[in-house]
Structure formats: structure tokens, C-alpha cells
Structure 1
Amino acid sequence: MPAEPLTLPHTSSDWNPFIADGADSALDAARDVVALLTDGTSRTPLAVLELWNDADARVATASGFTSLFAEVHPDASVRELAEVKTQEITAFLTERGQNRELYNVFAVLDASELDAEAARLLNHVLRDFTRSGVDRDDATRARLTEISERSTIVAQEFSRNIRDDVRTLRLRPEQLDGLPDDYRDEHGVGDDGLVAITTDYPDTVPFLTFATDREARHAVSRQFNNRAWPANDQLLHELLDLRAEQATLLGYDSWPDFDTEVKMIGSGDAIGEFIERISDLAGESGRAEVQTLLKRAQQDDPTITAITVGDGAYYTELVRREQFGVDAGAVRRFFDFDRVRAGLLEVTGRLFGISYRERPDVPRWSDDVTCYDVLRGDERIGRIYLDLHPREGKYKHAAQFDLATGVSGMQLPEGTLVCNFPRGLMEHSQVVTLFHEFGHLVHHVLGGNQRWVRFSGVATEWDFVEAPSQMLEEWAWDADILRSFAVDADGVPIPADLVARMRTAEDFGRAQRVRTQMHYAAVSYRLHRERPVDHDAAVAELARRYSLITPLSDTHFQAAFGHLEGYGSGYYTYMWSLVIAKDLFSAFDPQNLFDAEVAARYRDEILARGGSADAADLVAAFLGRPYSFDAFGRWLEGDN
């Protein structure tokens, strides 16, 4: 009998029972499995792993929906309950990971009786036990439990502060000069004669890109970069200290060393080396790009001596408009949200040999969420939800969340795309972001037909996770592909020569953007390794060292840097993954991005394998060689 998707509540009053009962039943089932495995019964290695897998599937799905609804549900009481249940799930996993009796059951299993994938699972389970502290003394295990529980609460509060701190700045109407007409129409003048600009992305990003008033841009930028301050300052100190103590108790020199043990990069020191390597590669070109921005800014105001974070997007857009003939504001008319969403589904369906069937009959948590069954032929292989517009109490960034983890014959993979896009016209950069995030979603679904839940979906090393999504961005840059859905109000497709100019214009600022990413990576890494007393001073020093754009004074970027909660010391992974993404894309013919043979190989050898093999091995199998920096180096030099 085919696996069925989750049945979400039909009425608002059913949501809290759904969260509570779903999490509790999963935990009860998992505790029953622990009791079974430790009851002294002799079982084959395969039987032990199958029992473990059944429990893990239930817990993984419960963890998925509690994490999702803690971030997106419109009802604050549901969000709060989901946070509590997430804490309970984390506590159970910590307790299970430190259960010596259970560990001994796995430690004596003979891996030679298992096939290669099951033996790999056994290896991962044993490694997870060790990383949980199962071999430490009672006092250490007790402290590790305390650290885990407190870390979960602190991380949730850190994220919640960013999500809930929506700030509003009221500006004079003339301070919106330069912004597109539809933006100005959507931001009417209030009774006080002023216009409200919030820190939500659909407000802030266009303002920083198009507003001609430098003082207003800086005010909006300061507002955006001060979210969750000062509330998150002490929380971040506590989170960093807890992670460092956890790593030390487990025998590691630092949190980055603990964190990277299970990543492709392999060691904490290697993160620092990677940041320096990429920074050096991008340095000369990046400095030249910023000098171009500065010269253009000085045409407006000769007293400007540096390009700040309140200037970068604006002057990059201005240079692209004046030197490359690309006006991002005008380009927006080709990217109506509804058409873009339909085009995305058409493109990915054709590329991966799947289709999407909208399900308006399926219950959702908000009316603006859309649901689709994912089909391969006539077979339903998963379900996706698209939650793409901002609302109060919702997660403020863009990410894919698991709703259910797929297990072959047991449960369908279900995922949710959570973004904050405008409802009308989109900037092309937002279209690229949508393709990127959707890449995670298809990876979750296509990789969700695994025997072992531990390897299901986006379950590869964390520094490979972004590579498939970064590669899918390429399909948002192809002129023929864009013309299939990017049309203006009169039905005229976006001109191919405009797309070519957009591509050329996009090349400008590439190295500077890489350096900005290295600044973020350095913040992520250095704060965890060094745990400075003064975060502001440390972040400012890292900006001077790595970023070519000057921070504004009296801002606290790290307080709203949500990736410090989820990615920890590993924000470098975005650029590490991009190195691999460029190499993966080298296997495709840029003149025929729908080549059926290479697309099917990529789908089957990379996406559909989930985490069933090491990422380096998946890439090598697809490319026919180990991955290299060569394609990334060519891209950085402007060779697309």
C-alpha cells in the first residue's frame, strides 16, 4: 500500500492537539523501541537497525513539523507549543544518545553481516553515540544534558527575537524617490504625512537598492541591522559559551573542531584556511569593484570616502544601470510572482522528470500557502508546501523546512519552502533566491525514497547541502528558460539581449560579494572559536579584514545573523558548496540545460541518493573525477 502524506488539521482548534499528540506519540514509540532493544533479546544486526529506523522515522517527522510550525504558524500559541515539543524531542535524543545500555547493543553488532549501506548506518549511529558523550562519566553526561537542553532554549529565543522584532521607520514621501511605482503605490502616506518602511525583506531590500536619498537608506539599513538588539547580545554569548563547553567536555579543542568532524572540510583550522584562500582569490578584483562604486558615489557627493552597507546595493545597481544598460527596477516588470511560481514548477518538472499537482483541498496553516503533490509518472513521490509571503510572526529569511522525512514504503517526504517575497512584481535576484531555495525542496523529495531515514533527503554533509541549490540558480539565468515565464503585463517575453546584459551586469560586484560572504563566514567561525567579550568590536574588526564594504556605526549585525543559530560556526559552507556547485554545473551544456541524459544522471546520482554515500563520492561518481576548485576559479574571474 503506498505511503500517505500527513493529514494536517482542518480547523484552527485542532492545531495544538495535532502538534502535541503527534510529538508525544512519536516519542512514546521511540521510547518503546529503546526498551525493546535493551530487553536482552538476541537480534541480528539488521533487525536492530530496522527497529532503530522505525523509531527514527517517527522522531524525525515529529522534529520536522514542530520545527516548522514553531517558525511559521500564524497562531502564537501553536508556535509556543511547537517550541516546547521541539525541546522535548531534543531532550529525548540527548538522553538516548547517552544511554550506555543501548550503545552496548550497537557496539557489539557485527558489521560484516550487513550490506554496505546498512554498515554505513551502523557506523554513523556509533559515531553519534560518541558525539553525544555516551563514553563520558556520569557527571559529564549530566552536564552535557543540561547544555543540550539550555542550548535548545537559547537558540529558539535567539531565532524568535529576530522573527518577532519587526521595526518600522516613518519617512517623508520624497525619501522614496527612485523606488519603482508599484512599491510607492503599496506604501501609502499615513495620516501623519509619512510612509512606513519595515524591516521585512519586501520593504527593506528594494529600498536599499533603489532609494536615492542616502540618509534614508542609511536609516533603513541601521534599522535592519539592529533587529533583535540588545536582546540577542547576551543570548549569543551564552550560546557560544555552551557550545564551547560541550565541545571541551567531549574532548575537542573548540566548537568548530567538534562541528567539522562530520563535515567535508574535516577540521576547524581548515575553515580558517578556506576563508583566507577564498578571500585572497577575490581580493584584487573585489577592491577594483568597490573603487568603481566609490568613484560613482563621489559624483553624487565628493565628500563620500567609503562605500557602506547602506550604499553597496544602491551604487551596484546604479553602475549596472549606467554602464551595462540594466535597470533592475525596469526588469521587475517581467517577473510577476504568480508567473514566476508557475515557471519554476514547469522548469524543475521538466528538468527532473516530475510534475506537480496542486491540492487546494489539502488543509494548510495559512490561506496564502499552496500545496502540491509531486508526481513521477502517475506515482506520488512526495508533497510540498509553498509559504512564500511575509506575515506577522513568521520566519523572516528564506529556507526549506522538512515536514515529514521520507522512508521507502513507510512515509512520503514532505517539505515546505518558507520565503518572504512580494505578492506582485519580483526583482530578478528574488527569482534566483526562489530557484535556490526550491533546490533544497526537490532534493528533500527526490532524495526521500531511502530505506534508512538517517540518509533521507537533504541528509548529506552540511557543507554540501547548498551545492545542489546553488547549481539550480543557473536555470534562473538562461534566456530561453526565462522567456518561458518572464513576460510583462502585455505578454511580451523578456528580451534575450536584456538577459545577456543582466548576466554581464551580474558579473560586476561578484568578487566584492564573495568577500562579503567571507566576512560572514569569519564572523560565524571566529565568534565560535575565540568567543570575544565584545562582539561589536570583533565583528567590526572582521569586517575591516574581510569585507570591502564599510559597516555603519551603531549597528549590531550579529544580533540578527540568524545563521549563527542554525549553522553555528559553519557559515563557510555557502562558499564551500558554491565551489562544488560550479564544478557540478560544468557537466551540463550551457546551450542545452534540459539535456535529458545529464539531467537524469544528476537527479539519480546526486539528488536521489540523499545522504546514502559521502558527498565527495557522490560528486566523483557524477563527474567521473574528484571535485576541484577549477570551475569556481574560472567563475570568479568572470568566465560563466
Structure 2
Amino acid sequence: MTPLALPTADDAQEWVEGRTRDGLAAARELVEGLRSDPPADPLALLRQWDEVSRHLSNVAATASLLANVHPLEGVRTTCEQAELEVDRYVTELRQDRRLFEVFAAASADGLDPVAARLLTKTLDDFRRAGVDLDDEARTRLAQINERLTEVGQEFGRNIRDDVRTVRVPAARLDGLPQDWLDAHPADEDGLVTVTTDYPDSVPARMFVHDAAVRRDVTVAFLERGWPENEPLLHELFALREELARLVGYADWASYDADVKMIGTGPAIPEFIDRITDAAAEPMRRDLGLLLERYRRDVPDAGWIDSADASYYEELVRQERHDVDAQQVRTYFDFGRVRQGLLDVTARLFGISYVAVPDAQVWHEDVTAHDVVRDGARIGRIYLDLHPREGKYKHAAQFSLVDGLAGRQLAEGALVCNFSRGLMEHDHVVTLFHEFGHLVHHVLAGSGEWTRFSGVATEWDFVEAPSQMLEEWAWDADVLRTFALSPSGDPIPADLVARMRAADDFGKGYQARTQMFYAAMSYRFHTDRPSDLTAAMRELQARYSPFAYIDGTHMFASFGHLSGYSSAYYTYMWSLVIAKDLFSAFDPGDLFDAAVAGRYRDRVLAPGGSRDAADLVADFLGRPYTFDAYAAWLAR
């Protein structure tokens, strides 16, 4: 099997158009065969249907990636149109009664458990698409699905393209690392431009001594996507509600939760409140320390907001734990971190990475690596790790090709926005986290079925393997293999220990902040407030430790309202599982081959072929519990 041959920049638009046209044509031909002369054998029926899924997935995955990373706007627009075409056709298929009747007549008798699972999931897809409704309702559902794709694309585009700037005299940037200042010379007016991209805004909010500059950068960051995205969100929530009710659910959250581990919509606020209660005492403890330090500079302050929180967190960590983030970042040169990540994950998962310098990529920043296991190539990964105009602004793994045994290699891309020089350790952790999704995609790319390939588990489990991989970015012995000072000395173990202690500071109020986001994603969908700003302020006051900043509209750039919809709780749900998964590893030997191999083969490699709860129980030897997370949060 050979990797996908990507196009040159000049050929990209024509290539996307051709790939879309050919992929859809192949799928339509197979579907026509299913309608006119379906295989009598259920397994043969499922294999033909899986070929349809493979063709559509190949078109959609390529389009999704290039729509978010390609430097040419025309190519991005063409890719967005390709996504629309695929979504439109998928809706058409799932509402096709003739097709539904073909699958409904198929018997699961004699099928292996994974094939039987695929048949069940396929029938569920038809029902959730409204296949049993009348013509008028199905037509409306098709219109809703198409418009949802359009609104989601516009919402994401507004966030991606809205890079705001703050221009300030260089003298007001005192406190920033020298390498940051060197990379941001003043212009002819004597002003330095700070953008809302992460490599600019995160250091500015953490290190700049001037509170007014920190506030200006924070406000600019929180205002991205507003006001354009507010009406889009209202439309998004209304369309999702209408869709859910048309197919028989109480609301969108119930529709969405029905295919997740949590099971029901009402279970979401119950989980949010459980975490809120568990985090209450740790939040009070840590917030008290933060306010104590803040009041030394702002006497009689009754609260603190996000414009000052990162800066004063750093001061607390320096003063109470002797951890200076600017000193820490000198150990994390981007090039060494990237190579360290590859070395660590190769050792952990029993694989290797082979650079492919002549691979065609979409931008000169992108690198390609083949993933090899037992001497055979099992996939290819692309690393696109620095910000640029027109590129996706956060950090995520994008699938490019779903791996299928004997049919096609697993390929994916890691898309991030890191500094080219020194990295904050938080960003190192983020890199490990996102790479966890990428390696999961590749390792789960040797199954039979497109539906279950890669990161195809329930969406409230999908973060757990990545959250667990973060632990390797906190281990002193692991870090010493790539975290070196400018003179080449490994990071001291005692510094890592202090970093861990410092990182524990704030986890209570960070959990509460996550519950604010989770409550917002849920309540915006179930309550559908007419005033999103007022609703956000009420939820922030209830859940978050940090005060609202007047005049800001953070929800407009909260991209998870599109992708995760009402289910942002999934990050914390996954973290509960991740802490339990990690309990199986020996902290003194994180590379134990037996444990790591069992984890790779029982949790990652199966992809979505089994329920996530069963994968976890198979690895742990018992069902997962809340205990490990509760103990971590309380300590």
C-alpha cells in the first residue's frame, strides 16, 4: 500500500475537484448496485456498503484538512464545497427507504461481533436521519443538515480569519522573554504588534508586567469572531433543536448523547454538577492563594478575571514553588521537543518514524513521516505546527485517510500553532496531547471497516488516550531525554518536581472553568437563550472562578460550540477515564513493554470496533471508576 499522493499548490484546486468528483461517482455506482441488486449475503452487503463509506470518507477527510490548512483561499473554498457535497449525499443515503429496507432485511446471524456491530450502527444511522418519516419531514431534515454544514464552516472561518492585533510601545512589554522580543521588532512608529495567535497572546498574558497591555490582549482574544458569529450560533442552535425534535428526541443534547458513553442528555448537567462539587474545595484553596497574591498589587480587590489570572498564576508558582516559566521554557527548544515527542511515542508504542523529505506537502512548514511497525509501514503522518495566515487557529488532529487492512494506509495530520523557538511547557503538554490523537488514528488503522477505523470511539472517550499521554510530558526521566538548557544540560529532576507541584496549583479552579464551558455548551443548546452574552455571564458567575470582563463575547470564538455542540463535558468525562487508565502504569517505569503493549493493542488498536467502556475494562481488568480522578483532584 502506498500513501496518498498529494498535489502541488498549483494543482491543488483541480486535484480536490477531481478527487471529489471521482469519489462521489464511485460511491453512487456502488449505491445503485445496492438498490438494484443487493448481495444476499449480509457480510457481502456490509462490505459493499463499507466501500461506499470509504470513498466518501476519503473525499471528506481530505477536504476537511485542506479547508483548514491550505495557504490558498481558493483551495480552502473548494474544499468547503466538497464537504458540503459529501454531507448532502450522506443525508440522502441515510434517508433512502429502499436502502434502509435492504439493511433491515439483513440478518446478523453468522456475522462476527464487529460485523454485527456495523449492521446495528448502520440501521441506527438510518433511523437517526429520519428514514421512517414522511417526504416533507425528510426534505426538511436534508435542508437542515446542509445548512448546518454551511453555518459550521462560516462559524469556523470567522474564528480562523479574525486575527486581531494590539500595537504597543516596546517599553510597555517589559517582562516578556528576550527571544519573543527579538522576534517582534518595533515598527517605524516604535510600536510592537501583538496578535491574538497563541505564540503571541499566551506569552503576553503570562509575562507582561503592564496590566493594561495584558487586558488589551485578553479582550482582543476574547472578541474574535464577534459580532459575526452571534447570529450564526442562534441559527445553529435552532437548526439542531429542530432536527432533534423531528427525529423524536426531546432536544439536541438528548439526540447527541444517545450515541455517546453518557447515554442521555439529562446526564450531562448531572455530571457537570458532580465535577463542580468535587472541585469546590480545591478551587477555594487555590483561588484564595491567587487572590492573596493579586491583592498585594491591587489592595482590596474582591475578584480577579482572566486578564490577570495567567500572570498572577505565574507569580504564585514562582514564589511558592520556585518555578519561573521563563526559565523553564529555555529547556524546551521546539526542534528538540518535536524530536523528543517522536522518540518517546516510538518507544512507548513499539513503532518508528521515518522522515519523508521528498513528500509533497501543502506548505513548506509541513513535515511528513512514515510510521513503521515490525518493519512494515502502517501509516503516514504530517506535522503542521506553526501559525500562518488562513490556517486553523487551535490544535487538532485531522484525518487524511482512514487506515484499512490491505486496502489503504492510515494517514493524518497534526495541526497546531506553536512558536518556532522556545516553548512554554504547557505547549509541550498540548503537543503530546494532540499527537496522542494522531498516533491513535494510525494504530487503529489496521481493521476491516471504515466505520471503526482510527479515532472512531464514542466522542466522550476520544480525549482519554490523549489526556493520558500528557503524563509522559511530566515525567522527569522522559523530559531529560529532550529538555536541554542552551548549554546542553538536561532539565533537573528537582525542577520537574517543582513544576509538577506548581501545576497542581489551580487545578481546582481550572476544573470549574471547564465546567463553565461545559455548562455553556449544554445550556446554549437546551435553553437557547435569546441573549447569549447574558446567559454566558450567568453561567460564568455560577461555575467559573474568574469574573466576566465587561464588553467581551468569548462564546463567539468558542469553536467547540460547532464541533462538540452540547457535549463539551466530554473533555472532563475523558479525563476521569484517563486518570484511571494511567493507574495501570508504573510511575517508575512508564515504558514497561508489557503494560504499554497491552494498552496499545486493547485500547488504541481496536478503534471503534467495541464500546469504549469495554476497551477500558479489557485493559484495566475492571470497569473504570471515578476514584483515580477524585484522588488526583483532592491532593
State TM-score, norm by structure 2.
0.99
| Residues 130-279 of structure 1 aligned to structure 2 (within 5 Å) | 130-279=127-276
Aligned residue number for residue 339 of structure 1: 336
Q: Gapped runs of 5+ residues in structure 1?
A: none
1:248-304 Cα deviation digits (max 9, x unpaired): 101101000000000000011000000000000001210221121111111112143
| Residues 232-381 of structure 1 aligned to structure 2 (within 5 Å) | 232-381=229-378
Q: Distance in 2 between matches of 1:376 and 1:85?
A: 34
Aligned residue number for residue 7 of structure 1: 5
Letter in 1 for 2:118: L
1:72-94 Cα deviation digits (max 9, x unpaired): 10000000000000000000000
Is 1:440 aligned with 2:437?
A: yes
Q: Choose the corresponding residue for 1:504, options 501, 504, 507.
A: 501
Contact 1:111 1:119 in 2 (8 A): yes
Aligned residue number for residue 120 of structure 1: 117
Helix, strand or coil for the counterpart of 2:330? helix
Q: Distance in 1 between matches of 2:568 and 2:395?
A: 15
Q: Distance in 2 between matches of 1:12 and 1:278?
A: 47
Contact 1:57 1:407 in 2 (8 A): no
Contact 2:38 2:102 in 1 (8 A): no
Q: Choose the corresponding residue for 1:37, options 7, 25, 34.
A: 34
1:370-416 Cα deviation digits (max 9, x unpaired): 00000002100000000000000000000000001111111111000
Is 1:405 aligned with 2:402?
A: yes
Helix, strand or coil for the counterpart of 2:166? strand
Q: Distance in 2 between matches of 1:195 and 1:303?
A: 33
Contact 1:290 1:307 in 2 (8 A): no
Helix, strand or coil for the counterpart of 1:150? helix
Q: Distance in 2 between matches of 1:449 and 1:553?
A: 51
Letter in 1 for 2:575: L
Is 1:386 aligned with 2:383?
A: yes
Q: Distance in 2 between matches of 1:459 and 1:40?
A: 30
CA RMSD of aligned residues (A): 0.8
Q: Distance in 2 between matches of 1:305 and 1:210?
A: 23
Q: Distance in 1 between matches of 2:215 and 2:498?
A: 29
Aligned residue number for residue 629 of structure 2: 632
Contact 1:68 1:403 in 2 (8 A): yes
Q: Distance in 2 between matches of 1:46 and 1:334?
A: 55
Q: Choose the corresponding residue for 1:535, options 532, 537, 541.
A: 532
Q: Distance in 2 between matches of 1:124 and 1:412?
A: 24
Following superposition, the deviation at residue 486 of structure 1 comes to: 0.3
Letter in 2 for 1:152: T
Aligned residue number for residue 612 of structure 1: 609
Following superposition, the deviation at residue 305 of structure 1 comes to: 2.5
Identity of aligned residues (%): 58
Contact 2:457 2:607 in 1 (8 A): yes
Is 1:72 aligned with 2:69?
A: yes
Following superposition, the deviation at residue 492 of structure 1 comes to: 0.7
Letter in 2 for 1:410: R
Aligned residue number for residue 556 of structure 1: 553
Aligned residue number for residue 580 of structure 1: 577
Letter in 2 for 1:563: H
Letter in 1 for 2:359: V
1:196-215 Cα deviation digits (max 9, x unpaired): 00010000011111111111
Relative distance call for 1:197 and 1:303 in structure 2 (3 A) is farther
Is 1:20 aligned with 2:17?
A: yes
Relative distance call for 1:41 and 1:468 in structure 2 (3 A) is closer
1:8-33 Cα deviation digits (max 9, x unpaired): 01x32210121111111111111111
Following superposition, the deviation at residue 469 of structure 1 comes to: 0.1
Letter in 2 for 1:196: T
Following superposition, the deviation at residue 604 of structure 1 comes to: 0.2
Relative distance call for 1:306 and 1:114 in structure 2 (3 A) is same
Contact 2:39 2:45 in 1 (8 A): no
Q: Distance in 1 between matches of 2:385 and 2:221?
A: 20
Following superposition, the deviation at residue 154 of structure 1 comes to: 0.5
Q: Gapped runs of 5+ residues in structure 2?
A: none
Helix, strand or coil for the counterpart of 1:252? coil
Contact 1:121 1:454 in 2 (8 A): yes
Helix, strand or coil for the counterpart of 2:364? coil
Q: Distance in 1 between matches of 2:298 and 2:43?
A: 72
Letter in 2 for 1:266: G
Following superposition, the deviation at residue 40 of structure 1 comes to: 3.6
Following superposition, the deviation at residue 183 of structure 1 comes to: 1.0
Contact 1:407 1:449 in 2 (8 A): yes
| Higher alpha-carbon deviation: 587-596 or 33-42 | 33-42
Q: Distance in 2 between matches of 1:562 and 1:91?
A: 23
Letter in 2 for 1:543: Q
Is 1:489 aligned with 2:483?
A: no
Letter in 2 for 1:339: R
Letter in 2 for 1:585: F
| Higher alpha-carbon deviation: 206-215 or 566-575 | 206-215
Letter in 2 for 1:413: A
Contact 2:282 2:509 in 1 (8 A): yes
Aligned residue number for residue 588 of structure 2: 591
1:11-67 Cα deviation digits (max 9, x unpaired): 322101211111111111111111001114552101100101111111112111100
Q: Distance in 2 between matches of 1:637 and 1:213?
A: 34
Aligned residue number for residue 456 of structure 1: 453
Q: Distance in 1 between matches of 2:77 and 2:38?
A: 40
State TM-score, norm by structure 1.
0.99
Following superposition, the deviation at residue 331 of structure 1 comes to: 0.4
Is 1:544 aligned with 2:520?
A: no
Q: Choose the corresponding residue for 1:129, options 126, 129, 139.
A: 126
Q: Distance in 1 between matches of 2:57 and 2:202?
A: 35
Q: Distance in 2 between matches of 1:541 and 1:482?
A: 42
Contact 2:261 2:458 in 1 (8 A): yes
1:509-542 Cα deviation digits (max 9, x unpaired): 0111000000000111100111000000000000
Aligned residue number for residue 97 of structure 1: 94
Q: Distance in 2 between matches of 1:36 and 1:265?
A: 38
Letter in 1 for 2:181: R
Q: Distance in 2 between matches of 1:155 and 1:287?
A: 37
Relative distance call for 1:42 and 1:198 in structure 2 (3 A) is closer
Letter in 2 for 1:54: E
Letter in 2 for 1:4: T
Helix, strand or coil for the counterpart of 1:403? strand
Q: Distance in 1 between matches of 2:53 and 2:406?
A: 15
Q: Distance in 2 between matches of 1:565 and 1:254?
A: 16
| Higher alpha-carbon deviation: 22-31 or 469-478 | 22-31
1:480-532 Cα deviation digits (max 9, x unpaired): 10000000111111001000000011010011100000000011110011100
Q: Distance in 2 between matches of 1:221 and 1:168?
A: 11
